[in-house]
Amino acid sequence: LKYHNLASSLITLTTDFGLTDTYVGVMKGVILGIAPRAQIVDLTHAIAPQNILEASARLEAAIDFFPSHTLHLVVVDPGVGSRRDAVVVPTDKGVFIAPDNGVLTLPLRRCLARTAVRLGDQASPYLRQPVSATFHGRDIFAPIAAHLAAGVLPESLGDRCDPRTLVLLSVPTPYEERSEEGRPVLHVPILYCDHFGNLITALTPAEWSAWHARLGIDAEEAAAKAVIQAGSGRWKGIRRTFRDVEADAPLAYWGSAGRLEIAIREGNAAQTLALTSRAAIYLTF
Amino acid sequence: LKYHNLASSLITLTTDFGLTDTYVGVMKGVILGIAPRAQIVDLTHAIAPQNILEASARLEAAIDFFPSHTLHLVVVDPGVGSRRDAVVVPTDKGVFIAPDNGVLTLPLRRCLARTAVRLGDQASPYLRQPVSATFHGRDIFAPIAAHLAAGVLPESLGDRCDPRTLVLLSVPTPYEERSEEGRPVLHVPILYCDHFGNLITALTPAEWSAWHARLGIDAEEAAAKAVIQAGSGRWKGIRRTFRDVEADAPLAYWGSAGRLEIAIREGNAAQTLALTSRAAIYLTF
Amino acid sequence: LKYHNLASSLITLTTDFGLTDTYVGVMKGVILGIAPRAQIVDLTHAIAPQNILEASARLEAAIDFFPSHTLHLVVVDPGVGSRRDAVVVPTDKGVFIAPDNGVLTLPLRRCLARTAVRLGDQASPYLRQPVSATFHGRDIFAPIAAHLAAGVLPESLGDRCDPRTLVLLSVPTPYEERSEEGRPVLHVPILYCDHFGNLITALTPAEWSAWHARLGIDAEEAAAKAVIQAGSGRWKGIRRTFRDVEADAPLAYWGSAGRLEIAIREGNAAQTLALTSRAAIYLTF
């Protein structure tokens, strides 16, 4: 099956395959062999091996910046070769193609999804045969994305299901605890760390507003008086951008991923503050 | 020379240039300046510097997943600036453009190639002039690939030759040896190591079948009873996929590259077993 | 604003964002959401964080290899969120879109630029709103490049200015000094180091010719008799290509970037000679 007169379609790839091997290139070969005019964008191939949560958080932060007809293909798949399902989920912010292992948990929180499709026997003619036991990105996910780009309807690939029946990840969430002196402290897990050493936390502006409002503190005062404890660093205030602090000083700011981030101006916060993606930071007043 | 009304064509790139420099981007600029609608796919730019064998094995494993009209451009070229030839080899599985240094040895074993063309003076108008002494990827290979994408015939670029006259690599091959107790042991060289630490060996299913058949062992028994010695690891059985063993356990399986691979489930086999791409593994019964 | 019937346009990206995060992918999503048929080429995303000089030198070396209608988008932007301007500079070798922080200093030396445009309030409808304080690549530069690709005129984005009013970098330049014995020595700064460990210096052929001519030495003699002191290495002669020296020997040659380069044949000069991008080499006779 190959589609020649195809309007160009946009497909993003998110994997833990890295770029040193040919895995990603081979997936693109499969896609372009089916849908020759697809536009393929690498979202990232540097997800930590088999880290479903990181993939979920990174994809969530990216989808708002792609057209709503985009196909988002995610292959972070520790269960490859086992009986986990593959799913297609059409939403108002793009169509997701992924293993049903929880990786869509965070993106789907921000989308309207009325239905999902679990790939079934109906999908067989659209797969690359024989399907290998170790590389479903190439044999299942890439050809399915390409056929969807070419206009195949999700419903023709398997049985519909309620999106609420998909596997859900347990996502680290901010919660309130008490300091030794009894003051309320917001415990905020770190979700992942970027290439600059900036730490992306789980805290959203909505969660932050709800918390400081409950303590009777308004937005401006909360930003000015928040005390941030992040690894070996401790400082006051949430800032707007890097330039609001001196070089080498740490800062907290609402990052481009829509969550609170920790950085060192012109430095590497993960290294300097000795923090990793399994740690947490603490906010108090 | 520039072609405007060009059907989009597919060109893959395989180099040892890495992605930190602009070398790959510049090659793409040259290609798109000639063939503006070419689709370019990075197969890999992380070949170990000047490792012709690795490039050959990785390309061999990838070509089956690209359309047969694909142009495969390979620039792993320790002899740049010397008198080695540049060749164009049309086959039933795509057209190869590469230095004549042996890098096509493995891909051509899987293709039907009736002719090859050594670039000659006729190619001059299609090169980027002046041709530098150090970057033939930019000045020779990229523009030739782009002109081929645009419909220039290989024959117009130089003299035809028999593909069997191309330089051949000496490729490590499995062979039988005897253990101290006199039992037959299959010595299997490792070809390369991937980003996950999985080790891709030289052994193909055909070679494996021939060997165990000669010992009077059928396929099922051979898979079940094979004893694999790989670095510091020793275990029994060839498996289908990662899920067939416990986490952190080593396994041997027929990988997506069409060869026997060694991995650690949810781990890094190269590190854990202390094996590199110059080593070998051993199979016996 | 979205343009459907767009001739495909070529946009290059040069950033310090790396490829492990989704920043580059997100910029591409923004571009393709506006200009769906744009061709996007990654020039490099591995500029050392916030190293404006390196970005400037790498871009300068690349522009000659792209069509003159290319849009070159540069986001190396230590001043993100502060009041530095964003500029669009149409030239005979492509259109540059960048922060006005000096990053265009070297490319503009090789181009004819009659005018530049500083983005002003007129650009607002073309930006991604709300514009974040930390990711202008996504919210300002990517959408501006896409709209330019779609045919929006630079003049409609802000006020024209003289390109000579743009911020200029102080670029390290070769200069003559005297040895202890009073002989003239050419002090040549290193600009950057590539993936192979080759060192790209500031010296151009024109500067070299002017210097040896002033000393009364012709080109051939100068190449043969030049003594190069580079870190722990000292040798004689400028060569044409790697093959002109033995394996593991150092060499100086006119590199593909149009400047003198230092390499070790089949080795890593930066490591072996203990040189970095802040050092210099010395030429004498």
Is A111 in contact with A59 (CB distance < 8 Å)? no
Residues B25 and C161: their CA atoms lie apart, in Å, by 31
Buried b (16+ CB within 10 A) or exposed e, B150-174: bebebeebbeebebeebbebebbeb
Q: For residue C130, how many other CB atoms are within 10 A of its CB? A: 7
**Contact yes or no for C196 and B49 at CB 8 A:** yes
Q: Name which of A20, A24, A81 is nearest B240 (Cβ-Cβ).
A: A81
CB contact under 8 A, A195 and C18: yes
Size of interface B-C (CB pairs under 8 A): 89
Q: What is the mean pLDDT of chain A?
A: 93
Q: What DSSP character marks residue A194?
A: -
Give the DSSP per-residue string, B197-215. S-EEES--HHHHHHHHHHT
Check CB contact under 8 Å for B28 and C41: yes
Interface residues of chain A, partner chain C, Cβ below 8 Å: 8, 10, 12, 14, 19, 39, 41-46, 58-59, 61-62, 65-67, 70, 194-196, 240-244, 253, 255-256, 266
Mean pLDDT of A150-178: 95
- Considering only CB atoms, B241 lies closest to which of A20, A50, A80, namely A80
pLDDT at A2 (0 to 100): 56
Predicted model pTM = 0.93
- Give the pLDDT confidence score for residue B77 in this predicted structure: 87
CA nearest to C128 within chain A: A65
A249 CA to chain C: closest CA distance, Å? Answer: 15
Percent residues over pLDDT 90 in chain C? 84
Task: Note the pLDDT of residue B277.
Answer: 80
| C63 CB-near residues (< 8 Å, 6+ apart) | C70, C72, C93, C94, C107, C110, C111
Enumerate neighbours of B (3 or more CB pairs within 8 A): A, C
Give contacts of C194 with chain B, Cβ < 8 Å.
Answer: 20-21, 23
Contact B67 A32 (CB under 8 A): yes
From A22, A37, A138, residue closest to B43, measured CB to CB: A22
Q: Nearest CA to CA, how far is B37 from chain C (Å)?
A: 8
Q: Which of B46, B65, B70 sits opposite A19 (nearest CB)?
A: B46
Closest chain B residue to A129, measured at CA: B65
pLDDT at residue A283 greater than cutoff 50: yes
Contact: B241, A25; criterion CB under 8 Å: no
Per-residue confidence (pLDDT) for residue C5, from 0 to 100: 47
Calculate mean pLDDT across residues C68-97.
Answer: 91
- At C224, the pLDDT band (50, 70, 90 cuts) reads very high
Q: How confident is the model at residue C120 (pLDDT cuts 50, 70, 90)?
A: very high
Q: Which residues of A touch C33 (CB under 8 A)?
A: 65-67
pLDDT number for residue B5? 47
Q: What's the rounded mean pLDDT across residues A20-49?
A: 94
Mutate to test the interface with C, among A6, A13, A44 (most CBs of C within 10 A): A44
**Does ipTM exceed 0.90?**
yes
Most confident of B6-10, C84-88, C275-279: C84-88
Q: Which regions of chain B are under pLDDT 70?
A: 1-8, 81
Residue A5 has pLDDT above 50, yes or no: no
pLDDT of residue A7: 52
Please give the angle made by the CA atoms of B228, B233 and B236, to the nearest 5 degrees: 35
The mean pLDDT value for A51-76 works out to 95
HEC sequence for chain C? CCCCCCCCCEEEEEECCCCCCCHHHHHHHHHHHHCCCCEEEEEECCCCCCCHHHHHHHHHHHHHHCCCCCEEEEECCCCCCCCCCEEEEEECCEEEEEECCCCCHHHHHCCCCCCEEEECHHHHHHCCCCCCCCCHHHHHHHHHHHHHHCCCCHHHHEEEECHHHCCCCCCCCCEEEECCCCCEEEEEEEEEECCCCCEEECCCHHHHHHHHHHCCCCHHHHHHHCEEEECCEEEECEECCHHHCCCCCEEEEECCCCCEEEEECCCCHHHHCCCCCCCEEEEEC
Q: Give the angle B159-B162-B163 at the CA atoms, nearest 5°.
A: 105
- How much is the mean pLDDT over chain C? 93
Q: Which of C20, C45, C243 to mutate to test the interface with B (most CBs of B within 10 A)?
A: C243
Among residues B148, B153, B154, B150, the alpha carbon closest in space to that of B36 is found at B150
- Between A1 and C198, residue with greater pLDDT: C198
pLDDT (0 to 100) of residue B256: 85
